[in-house]
Structure formats: structure tokens, C-alpha cells
Structure 1
């Protein structure tokens, strides 16, 4: 048995690798630079985690997804594998302490965001580590033609000069040939071994369903397929509204979005993961690191922004290799709406500059200042004050975030400030009376000098880790201290924060990134065109997706909405069309009324109605009723 397989069985409890995981791992162990394209559910993390465990030393993992970093670090720690992450919101002293742990504490994994590599002193500290592998996750971000390009990723290629003998592994779940070449060039990979797993999912049926009443169709789908399901919606409000509507129909459900607290996210996620509810309604904040194999159906209510995200989100269905469905529901006005939502809200250079200047003014940051400063942020208040359109402003801020100019944190967070207001001897007395709280109180006092003199912001996550406790327990202890008048405590809840990563330079800052903005807008326009093509073209849906990812010589899947319709007996449709014409002789009817009276499917009904409309046999009135012409 190979060392890799022993590691897999010991820590991951799997008997065998999925193809092509073992080949990738062997290539990395042989010291080769490697590019691996593994679609959603392909098991990317194992490809760097296993070889890193086999080799002596520590693996550096670069990823832009904070939620995914947290998830992977927690999962490794649960396996008693020493892993650590350099995330935002921690001081330089805390970073130094974490890097000391990596250097002297026998850690196996160090996760960090690409922005960290822009700090030269961190690079100097990384050079002192016994690095055995550098893994670049979400590697499409390094390409200007990737759907989430970040210039900060370009810094990763510089690590090649510092670690010339260390293998690099670039991983992504979505990349065209053009993006692949860009990744290899920008990371400076030397004669890389390339692995591309097909995007084909033989068990996953991609359906595009045209319907005038999406919720009626959702109800039909979920009552027919009662296994775990995901419904993707555009915003937080839609999460709550659709969950309430499902509950009213007797379909158990919960929701997930970036505005929930960590505890709420964990609670709602657990309900769904443990099959206590059938459906989780979510924004695209949901999904990273989620591995639930028995998802039967993934439904998108609106057109997605691009096919990369759609494929990944729909691909969360059917990971147990059982028949599953990725369903896109579209109504007649959806394409026009999508163009308004995605294209009309793209910021140009002038709007980006105005947003950046007003953002600095909003926080009273002077020219040449602001570096490293962090503020709580309310997008609606900011837009109201300056009369900015919300979506366009949000896109501008997201672009500034991707360029590394600011860090926009959308997840719910709690800012905790406290000051001890009683003498130290009283604190000692408190700890003797409350010995179960002693470790947390001692950790706070050791970590934050001056906390008796000044109100100090504390990092509850760090305190919990040092005290070998949980963040929930830390909050309980400080609340108890406050209630008993040992401390002054201020907890500020916010669902967004902004950190300025550069000093304010106005035009100089925006001019530097203007070309990237132009490229991004061109790319987003083309991506939406591809989505519209997928939704509206009469062609095998699986084939359309695979062709988008540059796969050739593809056969029709036989199970998507197009293939099923194509394979239907023409005689059946002729009979259905005749029945519809008979019904409409008596009265005007909506498509749902026709469907109910004839006990047929909405797909068949709409196909027959479209045929009649195209042949000018029927028309539709202002009440969405069809009538004979």
C-alpha cells in the first residue's frame, strides 16, 4: 500500500482515490509543477492535502475564499491535522505569532489569501518555513479571462523565485483553454503536468423549463422529488420570502445568506445537512466546501451571471452518482431583466472613481492616509447619502475589493470592545469563584496588555483558540463579566465592513486599475451572452455546457430537457395540440389551467403552446390567457 493511500484511509476514511486524484498526487510527489482542472465534486483539496501529509514540512495554500479557508482548516483540525490560517482582521503581532507556530510548531498547512503576499515581510517569513508544496486554489482568479480575476493573484508567481525547488499545484473547478494557458503563464509553472477531468456528469440532468408561474413549478418539482434540494435566489429578501412560501405549502425548508450570524448559519445548515428540512433556499454565498452527496435537485429561479457559477452550483446535485437534476426556471421577461440586472449596473471608470472618492470622504480619510483602517459599513446608508444606485455601487465596491484596494467583508460579524474597570485583585477573586471561566479571562488579560487602561477591541475567535474553548463560550464569559460590573462592554453588530488596503490617492489609484475594469465589463457582457444562449438555444443542455468549457466531439446526453423533448413521440404532441385547440374553443385559458385540465406536464404544455403560437393558431391576452385566432 502506498503512503498516499495510507494517509487517505487514516484521515479521510476512504479506501480508494477518485480518478484522477492519485495521478495528480503522484505527479506532485515526484516534484512536478501541476495544473489540475477538476469540476465541482472532483475532490480538489485531497490533491494537495494528501501529498502535503506524505512529505516533510508545511504546505502553503493560497485561496481567495475566506469561507472555504475556514471550512478546510476546521475540517483538518477535526482530523487532528495541524492547520492554520492568516485571515483578515488580525494584528501584525498576531500574524507573527501564527507564523512562529508554523515555523516551530510542526504545522502541516498554512492557508492565506493572495493579498497577504503583497506584504514583503510576510514573504520574508514564509522563506524561513520548510515548505513542501505550494497549492493555488481557485486558480482561475489569476487569469484576466477568469470569471473572478484578482490582480493580487499575480503576486503568487513571484513565489517561484523564492521556492524554485518546491512543486506548485494550480487547482480550479472551471477554466476554458484560454484561462488554462493564462494560469500556467502567470504562475510561471515549469513544464507542468496537466490534468483535465471532463465536465460531463452522466447522472445529472440539466433542465431549462419555461414557465409563467415559477413557484407553482417549484412546488410540483419538490413534491415529486422529496429528497434534499437547493434553491438559488438572487438576494437575502428572496431567501426569506421563498422559505416562508415553501413552509406554507408544507415543504420543510430553511435559508442561508451572507447576512446571517455564524450561529444562524450553522443552525440552518445543520437542519438541512441532517435532513431535518428538505430544502435550503440560498444566495450564492452558500455552497463553498459543502459536500452533501444526496442532493437530488438544484433549482435556479433567475438566470445566473455566468455559466461557470451555474455549473458549480447545479453540480452540487447528484454527488452520490444517483440520478439528479439541475433546473433553470425562466419566464418570458427573464432575459431582458438579466441584462438590466447585470449589464446596466456595471460601473465605468468615472463611476468607479466617484465611488472611491466618496467612500474616502464618507469615512473622513484624507489624501495619502487610510492604509490599514477598518470601518463598519452600511451600503444602503452610503448610497442614500450620495444618491448612488445600490447595485452599481456594490459592483464598484466588489471590483475595488478584487483589485485589493479595499477589503469588503459581507459576512455578519460582531465587533467586541471591552475594558476592565475593577482592580486586578477583584478579577483574581472572580476567577477563584468562577474557575470554569478562568482560562478565558486569563487569555484575554495575557493577549491584550493595557486593557485596564483603555477600551480595547478583542478578537473573540483568537481568544477562543488560545483558551481551547469556543467563541460562544468567550461571549458568554465577557457578558457575565459585564453583568457583574467587572468590565465595560460594547458589542457592535454589522453585516458589512470595509478595510482600506492602500493610502488614498484618488485618480492615481483608479487609473492604475481602469484597464482591468474595461476587460471585466467586456467579459461579463460575453458571459451573459453565453448564459442567454444556454437558456434559449434548442440544443442538448449538457452539450452546450461542455462546449463552453472547450470539450469536443460530445454526444447528446439523452436526459436533459431538450433531449427528452426531442425524443418524445411526435404523435403525442399532435394529439396534445388538438386537445388544446378543443379546450380553447370553449373559453380562454392560462397555461396552468390547460396543464391541469389535460393532466400533462408543464414542459409538454409549453412546447405545444409555443408550436401553436409560432403557427399563428393562438394568441395571448393581457391576462396571460390563450385564445383562438
Structure 2
């Protein structure tokens, strides 16, 4: 009997129809075929694996590097009555063990896991006892060394596939160039190539570059002229606050968001922005993943991203409802220098990288040959103070050491407080006379959180304190007492990055930084930065077509509403007029080599207009010039 995916969609999500491409991907993976889905930001990627996984017997393994998104999706699934659990860096061994046991015995449908955890002995041991229905690889471009965000841990997915013969894989990503698309399938051991790709073209989105020496003034001008919800992306945490303060000072409701805020603050600000309590979110690239707000009218970048992939993904958060929206970059001449400097920050020289590795070992007093499997909290600022390093290149060096396979260096994580009961419900009644505060706290916990006897639940001490009319500190003290009496296992809130040694400490002369990790990645990083600079400095090529061409999509028409297309109109040319002159020039040149004057002679148009179109075609690479003669490539 054929599976009715529409029924599952209606039952759990309340929708009656799938979006473009969703059903094709679902049918393909449902038939057991290895499948790669390329869906731009906001295309509804999660539905493509959640629906078929619910139709299959067993558990879906979801591999994703985005811990905040992982937690968010697990919570969303649980809210729909679907059993899901997540495993990521920073969890205790006991938490991981309970999560894995639940996946074997607890009728769970989804196990979200960060790629770094795939290689652990405990995971591989428990995986053998799981009935896995399918593997989903989110952000699958991370498996490709050609990709803009390569993570070596993704390469372990091929080993997991060997352990699960016959289990199909669904790879998903929002942005990938043609070479990355091929590489993803090769590295994930696809039985045969099978790609479903939505067009990257966003017809309702106008891409604009504003060249300005006064970004603050230009930002205010744009926000005062484009109504509706907006996101302003900035490079640093400090800058997000400065932007939000500037906007509020000028009567525009705004707040700021970055990874340094704790989860509660981030959730509150995100909710207020989504419900329209304030209009503009000034944010780093930590904001946007998994956010489902369709009516964003404007995305502004006050600093340049370092790749077209990152820009396309962030800009694509505007206009998901299909209505007219704007993606604007504010560009000043100094941005080019700033962006170029990122190359040396991201790829500091190898001697410096080795020095950072040595200092890391001193920091943790790591003996030679020791360390494998050890996990430590890491404070970058303190590390840099101790050893007199600048944070940005030190961060770049640690990431390269991680890429080379010596450590795992996680991003800063805000791990909310969590607890699990270590005694059964019946045993709880034996613990009498613990005092009225303790009794009230236990009752509040039992009423507020479900599944707390079989799995860790995220708790909020603040809300428990309000409910019980106690201070947050007192709730914390009571929970610690319960933990000491072994009634609960309580892990208080902690916000920190981690360093995990993935192999033993080696002597510096044995530290290998391979060509593919350093030289080849650096070369590709430089190309992406150059592509970004070309995008913002171009003055005669349709912005939409430039982005589409970067992603390997052939497009013969201009968008008609980016700043370049509008500029053509300002120069006295209407779109139809421009298109007519363009097609005549291409026809005239054909097999010939002609001077600009000879082309003008053959056309019944004003020379200035012909000159504008010729310049455009030369910039687009559709015509060429040598020795004063214009020609088309055969």
C-alpha cells in the first residue's frame, strides 16, 4: 500500500500541500534512494526528512553541526508529540548514555547528533542496536573540502554508512556550487547521482549595493523608506549593539542578537521580533537559522560577508512570503581592505599555528602522548591574555588545528540547565519531611516537565522561582541538595566553548597541517572573498545573475529590479529598449570582429545607449575586446 505523505503532513503540521520540490525529495528518499536536495533558505528542508521518517519504521539519524537549530527542532518535534532527542558536545557521559538507550528501547523517531560525536566509541557501540530507517545529513556542503564551511568530522559519515548497509541517505543544503554538489554525493557514497534542485533565483527579491562613506546615514535613510520587518547583519557582537542603539535613538524600534547572549535572552528577543514588538533585529550571522518569519521586507548587510554562499543564505531571509523585498549591502572602499585582512586572520602562517598548539598544551598542562578523548571548557579571552595572542588569528589557528584532526574546537554553547530523576516516581514518596520548600519544588518540577524520569529535561530556574515565590539562588540551592541526595541528576546552566583532544599531544615537529587543510582551503577562501568583492564593486552586471552564475545556474534574463538593472533605466534606457539593443548587437557581432564605431553605424539607435549596452556585455563576459575589435567567443 503506497504511503500517504499528505496525511502525515496534515496530521502533524496542519498543511494540506507540500511546497515546491518537497514531495519529489520525500518520494525519492521514501523509495530508499540516496538523495541530495538543494533548497534555498526558507524552502522547508526539515519537512523533507521529518515526513518520510515518520512513515518508516525505526529511527532517523539527523547529522547537523548547528546545535541551536538541533535543540530547536527537537523541541518543535516534541511539541507535536513526536519523540526526538539530541546529542552534542558539552553533554555528560550519563546524558549521552540515557539518550542512546532511549533511541534503542524508547520508540524514538529522531536522533539529532553533531558530526563530531559520530566517531565516539559509545555512539558506535549503541548504533549497532538501533533500527535506523534513514540518515539525514543537514548542511551537507560541510563534507566537501570545496565547500565554504568544511568540517572534517563529516567525513566519518561514510563509516556510519558502512555500519548501516542498505540505509538510504538524504543530504540537504541551501547553497552549493556545481563542484560541491558532485563532491557531496561522492563523499557520502551515493549509489548513484540523484539531485533535486530548486532554482536559486528569487524573483521577488531586489539585490542592491549602496556605495557610501556614511553607512549610518544610509542605513537610516533605507529603513525610513522601506517599511516592514528588517534584519541588519553586522560582523561583530559589539557592532550589533551599536546599530540597535543608533536605530532606537532615531525612533526605529530595534534590538540586537548574537551568540554571546544567553538562551533565554535570545529566545525572548527572537519572539518579540517575530511578533512585531520591535521592527529591526541587528545581528551577527548567529541569527536566522530555523527562523520562520515570512514577512521580512528588508535584509541589510553593514559589513561584507566573506563568501557569496554566506551572503546568499542571509539575504534569502527576506521576502519568503513571495512579496517584494530588498537585500541591501552597504559598501565603502575600506570594506575591501577589511575583507582582504580576513585572509591572514583566518589562515595565519603555519609557525603561528604551531605556537598556538603548543600554548594550548601548556594551558591544559598536557603531557606528551596524553590527551586523547579529554574534554575541557575553553576561554579564548583568558587563553589569549595568558599567552599574549590576539583573539581573531588565535581563533583562526585553533580552527585549522581542528581541521587537521588534532582537536575538536566547538563554538560557544549556551547549555541550559537540565535534570533527570534518578529514582522512580514511587520511590519519591519515601522521601518525606524534606521541608515545605523542597516539597513544593518537587511538585512544581513534576507538573512543569514531562518525560523527566526517562530523559533529561531542560528547566528554567527563573520560572520555577517565580512560581514558588522564591529567589533563583534558593531554587538553585534546593536543586543542588536534591542532586547530592541522589534524587535527581542536575546539570546547571553553563555557557562555554569546548576543546576536545581527538588524539594524543604530539611533538611540534610531528604536527602535520596538510596541503588540503591549509593551502587548498586558503586558495578557495581567497576566491570566495574575490567573488564577494566582485559582486559589490560590479557596476554593469545584474546582481541576481551574478549570484546565479556563481552557483552554476544559467540565466539569460536580467532581474529588472536590482540597482544595476534600475541604473540602466536611469541612464535613459527602458528594460525593453535595453533588451532590443542587446539582441541586435549580439546578432551583428555574430561571427564578425567589429569596432564600436562599426556597431553604432549598423544600428538605428543613439550612440550613448549602444555604448552602455556594449559595456554591459563586455562586463558580463558575453562579448570580448582585443586590439579595439569587439567579438563573441565561438
Confirm or deny a common fold (TM above 0.5): yes
1:218-255 Cα offsets, whole Å, 9 max, x none, are: 11111122311000001111111111111000000011
Distance in 2 between the 1:470 and 1:362 partners?
Answer: 33
* Structure 1, 285-294 or 339-348: larger mean CA deviation: 339-348
Please name the residue that 1:430 is paired with: 434
Q: 1:399 to 1:12 in 2, by over 3 A?
A: farther
Number of residues of Structure 1 aligned to a counterpart in Structure 2: 551
Distance in 2 between the 1:227 and 1:358 partners?
Answer: 49
Matched, 1:479 2:468: no
Q: 1:35 to 1:345 in 2, by over 3 A?
A: closer
Q: CA deviation at 1:166?
A: 1.4
Q: 1:465 to 1:307 in 2, by over 3 A?
A: farther
Please name the residue that 1:40 is paired with: 41
Distance in 2 between the 1:270 and 1:211 partners?
Answer: 33
Q: 1:260 to 1:463 in 2, by over 3 A?
A: farther
Distance in 2 between the 1:522 and 1:254 partners?
Answer: 37
Matched, 1:295 2:293: no
Q: CA deviation at 1:289?
A: 0.8
1:403-435 Cα offsets, whole Å, 9 max, x none, are: 551233313457999xxxxxx999842355543
Q: CA deviation at 1:469?
A: 6.7
1:342-366 Cα offsets, whole Å, 9 max, x none, are: 4455223222111111012112222
For the 8 Å contact 1:35–1:170, the answer to whether it is kept is: yes
Other structure's SS at 2:395 match: helix
Distance in 2 between the 1:373 and 1:185 partners?
Answer: 32
Please name the residue that 1:4 is paired with: 5
* Structure 1, 223-232 or 322-331: larger mean CA deviation: 223-232
Please name the residue that 2:115 is paired with: 114
* Structure 1, 186-195 or 296-305: larger mean CA deviation: 186-195
Please name the residue that 1:543 is paired with: 545
Other structure's SS at 2:333 match: coil
Please name the residue that 1:102 is paired with: 103
1:127-171 Cα offsets, whole Å, 9 max, x none, are: 221111111111111111011111111110122322221111111
Please name the residue that 1:260 is paired with: 261
Q: TM-score, normalised by structure 1?
A: 0.81
For the 8 Å contact 2:345–2:396, the answer to whether it is kept is: no
Other structure's SS at 1:570 match: coil
Q: 1:343 to 1:528 in 2, by over 3 A?
A: farther
Please name the residue that 1:26 is paired with: 27
For the 8 Å contact 1:349–1:514, the answer to whether it is kept is: no
Other structure's SS at 1:296 match: strand
**TM alignment of 1:454-465, pairs within 5 A:** none
Q: CA deviation at 1:262?
A: 0.9
Unmatched segments (≥5 aa) in structure 1:
418-423, 444-459, 573-606, 608-629
Matched, 1:470 2:459: yes
Please name the residue that 1:132 is paired with: 133
Matched, 1:564 2:558: no
Other structure's SS at 1:367 match: coil
For the 8 Å contact 2:414–2:493, the answer to whether it is kept is: no
Aligned-pair Cα RMSD in Å: 3.1
Distance in 1 between the 2:504 and 2:212 partners?
Answer: 51
Please name the residue that 2:73 is paired with: 72
Distance in 1 between the 2:453 and 2:269 partners?
Answer: 23
Distance in 2 between the 1:264 and 1:363 partners?
Answer: 32
Please name the residue that 2:631 is paired with: none
Q: 1:468 to 1:97 in 2, by over 3 A?
A: closer
Distance in 2 between the 1:386 and 1:42 partners?
Answer: 46
Distance in 1 between the 2:494 and 2:91 partners?
Answer: 18
Q: TM-score, normalised by structure 2?
A: 0.81
For the 8 Å contact 1:152–1:403, the answer to whether it is kept is: no
Please name the residue that 1:523 is paired with: 524
Unmatched segments (≥5 aa) in structure 2:
420-427, 485-489, 575-611, 613-634
Other structure's SS at 2:512 match: helix
